[in-house]
Amino acid sequence: DAGVTQSPTHLIKTRGQQVTLRCSPKSGHDTVSWYQQALGQGPQFIFQYYEEEERQRGNFPDRFSGHQFPNYSSELNVNALLLGDSALYLCASSLGTREEQYFGPGTRLTVT
């Protein structure tokens, strides 16, 4: 049973560029949440997708957008990258919008 997978593992981008991160949920899960974890902090909630819709959003600007596909996989897009966007981006899946979450290994994004 495949767990949550994320790609790529690491990514280096330049300020102003755009990036797309990908997440495949655990088999049987229908909900995907995205988190940003900066050094020394806990994961910060970005948004959650269920039934291909954004259900809830944290305090992140519109530069952060996402999508969920019919197979429940999800993408996180960040436009106009800033140095402060450098972080570990975690994807978590669950069965239902408020149930126990299973995390992927994360994508480490570095913006130079």
Binding site for another protein (CB under 8 A): 3-4, 33, 35, 40-45, 48, 50, 55-58, 90, 92, 97-106
User: How far apart (Å, rounded) are the C-alpha atoms in residues 11 and 27?
Assistant: 26
Q: Residue 40 CB: number of other CB atoms within 10 A? A: 5
For another protein, the closer of residues 36 and 81 by Cβ is 36
Least separation in angstroms between CB 25 and another protein: 13
Closest alpha carbon to 88 in 56, 26, 44 = 44
For another protein, the closer of residues 3 and 11 by Cβ is 3
Closest alpha carbon to 35 in 102, 112, 110, 111 = 102
Least separation in angstroms between CB 54 and another protein: 10
Least separation in angstroms between CB 3 and another protein: 8
Least separation in angstroms between CB 108 and another protein: 11
User: What are the CA-CA distances from residue 48 to residues 17, 24, 40, 53, 106 (Å)?
Assistant: 24, 14, 23, 8, 16
For another protein, the closer of residues 9 and 71 by Cβ is 9
